[in-house]
Chains A and B, each alone.
Chain A
Amino acid sequence: MITLTVNGQTHQIDAEPDTPLLWVLRDFLGHNGAKYGCGIAYCGACTVHVDGNAVRSCIVPASAAEGSDIRTIEDLDNHPVQQAWIEHQVPQCGYCQSGMIMAAKGLLDRNPEPSDADIDAAITNVCRCGTYTRIRTAIHTAAATMREARS
């Protein structure tokens, strides 16, 4: 049994301790936002937040996340990053975008006014459709919205 706190709810899960967090979220808890892309932490489609940090859940054993605050894209409710994604019509196939949004939120949570270079350094997720220029623009828009909300 593993005990995980996901989006503020605590779950007892009958999964093997080495099961990656990604597959616990998807196959045991039905949170399908985090996606499987590579299983080796390369692509970032599986990005979720663990204790406020964006992590690649495909290589995090669920047992290592016990006691942590796990947040998935399902926890976001019309977040400024999501608003910006819709405003700039970012997604194409969309498969990477949950991970992109969580990576972008992770960046903005610690850097409220990122430069293009900051974005390029922080967003290492891959998008096979090539939505990158829209992602860059949307992150700037979301940053501005979040700054306004704070001021």
Chain B
Amino acid sequence: MKMEVSRREFLQGSGSAAASLVIGFHVPLKPARAQFGGPPEPFVVDRDMVNAYLTFNSDETVSIVSAAAELGQGSLTSLPMLIAEELELALEQVRIEQAPLNESAFKNRLFGYQTTVGTSAVRWAFDPLRQLGANTRELLRNAAAVTWDIPLEETVADRGRVTHPASGRSLSYFELGETAAGMEIPTDVPLKPQSEWRILGTPFPRWDTEAKSTATANYGIDMQVEGMVVATIAATPVPGGTLRSVDPEPALSVNGVEEVVTLDDAVVVTATNYWSAKKGLDALDPQWDLGPVAARNSENIREEMLHLLDQPGNEAVNEGDIESAMQEAAQVVTATYEAPYWAHATLEPLNATADYRGDSIEFWLGTQSPGRIQSMCALTFPEVPQENIIVNNQYLGGGFGRRGDPMAPEQAALVSRQVGKPVKLIWSREEDMTHGAYRPKSVIRMEGSLDGEGRVTGFRGRIAVQSTLASLIDNPDVPFDPFATEGLIDDDYRFPALNFEYHSPRPGIPVGFYRGVGFIHNTFYRESFMDELAHAAGRDPIEFRLELAGHRERNVLLLNTLAERSNWGHPAPGNVQGVAFAYSDESTVGEVFEASVSDDGRVRLHKITCVCDVGVYMNPMMIEHQMESAITWGLTSAMYGEILIDNGATRQRNFNEYELVRISHIPEIDTVILPPTDTPGSGGECGAPPAPPALANAICAATGSRLRSMPFRIHGISFA
């Protein structure tokens, strides 16, 4: 009897205890991140795990659950392909489903909960999901061998079927399900070598492309739930403030408005539609108790940080004899750099739909971290058992580190509890921009020592930057913050002496993880400063970097490929070139920007060459897309991005005050991916950090003017 086998039923029903397999897998973590994330958690391929991931359908397709949220980076597609490769499926047999909240099956083994952050999706899943596919394939081969009473070696798994070539017999995986359900899952299955891969390493299409090209993809903001109201919110304009009072009447007289709901730190208007809710909210005049952060502004935050640069800080690294290096130097170069707060500005503003039902809460939204929403809401709503908090993930209209935040879903659930209906809460663009978890502002002073031959003998610095880590773990006293100095002290460059310290000021402005995290500003600092050192030494910037990075053959290959591919040193007449190189999250990227700059500071980019070493990659097309994406991200950050604080509140309210790079600014981007290694790096963020310094170095080559702070706009630089 053939029937659609549900995920619950497949591989269940065996009386014997299922043999389980603990798969130890190795993801290289540098010590700093390992200290933060801890060692990877185990992934056990047992029946529950196989059932959670796989449904074998009668039409010979296989539905594979993707543990990754889809925020544009393509992991929704890539993770199931790890399974499909070992399961011997053809691309067209794969159906992909978004994971429900199920920590035991789908949690990110690097972070310990269900989350898609830190360009870690493929890094955590690379071995575990291939192993799940391989073990399941061998189970199905065993089932066929038993069915036909032949040796296992005579069976072949291919395109969703097991065949016996000698007799021509063949059964689909679906047909083998019942037999397989009574058998043990093999535990010692070797993984296919890369040379035998048929899907992985090829430019397979994304699962979500068609839906996103035909407007059938559902984002959080598109949710429609029976009986729901639409709401919009004004939270305290100053972080830490509270709502003192509000007269609801002006909103209640707006057609379509249903209720005015007050929270401790916000006022919310519910209505039959968004426009009515917004008109109602705009009619209100809430009074706030603003709290101490109202005393902070961009100027006094900056002054505090500059003052800290004169004080000893927390030591991040101290290798070699830095004092001697500086004292014995032929030349010492010193410079102070800075970067502002940046907003994620996801194009879909934050939103969440919640249905609070007393003993359960159901959420619908696009989130990077369903696990964090569940655990945080369990604290906010102690009357609801944690397992009754359900998160239905949707497509994310941009994530970039912003969409792991539980604030919007918590607010939606608080409102739903008060009004007794499902609530779709949409933050206006203005609410979204003024209530960000910004990439923190930082200032840094660096010193570099050169010997008489123009070689670097020492590199040291001190940075003041709010702790991104403290924002995540809600503990301002973290012992060590790896994000403060990542990008400054990594092993991609080696210096005879290296010393860095950091300060973690607490001005009270909310900060969070922003694509590129610490790397994106620290690489701007380091790679601009390396350019200054190369100039001081009278050396070619790529040759100079080859000396610093030459301890790794892959770095040499990368930089030589970059020089050749970009025609380094030979820009077109009237053009200039700038280079930057950086490690981040187990990947290394070098970029050359070729540009022309007019006398009045107008920059035209002519070509961007990007060479990346991402280790082993799943899909070269997605790597190219992510490099293009991350470079654009870096360019918006470098040219335009700046959140300013006035009396504790964010000044910028919409895109007219927080500009984004447009198509006319972006030239041809030529991406080269180095041949794969054996271990996965990262793809989603590593292209961003080199972009700001590559652009700054090109501008300096044209104008002689060194840009030591972002955004470049404030220095009179604009796009032509």
Which residues of chain A have a CB within 8 Å of any CB of chain B? 15-16, 18-20, 23, 26-28, 30, 32-33, 35-40, 42-43, 45, 72-74, 76, 82, 85-86, 89-98, 101, 119-121, 123-136
Q: Is B156 positioned at the interface, with any CB of A under 8 Å from its CB?
A: no
In the complex, residue of chain A having the shortest beta-carbon distance to the beta carbon of B629: A130
Given A97-B212, A120-B664, A128-B347, 5 more A-B residue pairs with CB atoms under 8 Å apart are A37-B347, A40-B656, A45-B347, A124-B662, A127-B632
Does the CB pair B664–A33 fall under 8 Å?
Answer: no
CB distance from B321 to the nearest CB of A (A): 44
Question: In the complex, A73→B628 CA distance in Å?
Answer: 26
Q: How far is the CA of A14 from the CA of B98 in the complex (A)?
A: 36
User: B206, B230, B397, B630: which contacts A35 (Cβ < 8 A)?
Assistant: B397
Instruction: Tell me whether B628 and A39 are in contact (CB under 8 A).
Output: no
Residues of B within 8 A of A15 (CB): 273, 275
- Report whether B215 and A73 are in contact in the complex, using a CB–CB cutoff of 8 Å: yes
Give the residue among A33, A74, A132 with the most B Cβ atoms within 10 A.
Answer: A132
Most buried by B among A30, A127, A133: A133
CB closest residue in chain B, given A124: B662
Report which of B206, B211, B219, B663 forms a contact with A95, defined as CB distance below 8 A.
B219
Report yes or no: B660 in contact with A128, Cβ–Cβ below 8 A. yes
> What are 30 contact pairs spanning A and B, CB under 8 A?
A16-B275, A23-B273, A36-B221, A36-B426, A39-B429, A40-B656, A42-B656, A73-B215, A76-B214, A89-B205, A91-B206, A91-B213, A93-B347, A93-B395, A93-B397, A94-B212, A95-B347, A97-B212, A97-B213, A119-B663, A120-B663, A121-B664, A123-B662, A124-B662, A126-B655, A127-B632, A128-B398, A131-B629, A132-B632, A133-B668
Decide if B656 touches A89 in the complex (CB within 8 Å). Answer: no
Pairwise interchain contact B625-A82, C-beta atoms closer than 8 A: no
* A97 cross-chain contacts in B, Cβ below 8 A: 212-213
- Range, interface on chain B: 35 or more
With A91-B212, A92-B73, A129-B629 as known contacts, state yes or no: A40 contacts B654, CB within 8 Å.
yes
Q: In the complex where A128-B345, A128-B398, A133-B628 touch, is A94 in contact with B274 (Cβ < 8 A)?
A: no
Question: Could you count the A-B residue pairs with CB atoms below 8 Å apart for me: how many are there?
Answer: 175
Taken together as a complex, chains A and B put the C-alpha atoms of A97 and B628 apart, in Å, by 16
Give me the interface of B with A, judged by CB distance under 8 Å. 70-74, 205-206, 208-215, 217-219, 221-222, 224, 230, 255-256, 272-276, 279, 345-349, 395-400, 426, 428-429, 621, 625, 628-633, 636, 654-656, 660-664, 666, 668-669
B625 touches A126 (CB 8 A): no
CB distance from A12 to the nearest CB of B (A): 16
Determine the residue in chain A with the shortest Cβ distance to B625. A92
Contacts of B661 in A (CB 8 A): 126, 130
- CA distance in complex: A82, B287 (Å): 49
B213 contacts across to A, CB distance below 8 A:
82, 85-86, 90-91, 97, 101
In whole angstroms, how far apart are the Cα atoms of A123 and B665 in the complex?
Answer: 11
Closest 9 CB pairs of A and B: A130-B632, A95-B397, A94-B212, A33-B215, A93-B72, A92-B72, A120-B664, A91-B212, A27-B273
Rounded to whole Å, the gap between the CB of A135 and the closest CB of chain B is 6
Minimal beta-carbon separation of B660 from chain A (angstroms): 4
Known A-B contacts A28-B273, A119-B663; the reply to A131 vs B656 at CB < 8 A is no
Instruction: Flag if A130 contacts B655 (CB, 8 Å).
Output: no
A104 to chain B, nearest CB (A): 11
Smallest beta-carbon distance A125→chain B, Å: 8
Instruction: Name A43's closest neighbour in chain B (CB-CB).
Output: B655
CA distance A126 to B347 in the complex (A): 9
Chain A residues with CB under 8 Å of B428's CB are 39
Contacts A119-B663, A130-B661; A93 near B399 (Cβ below 8 A)? yes
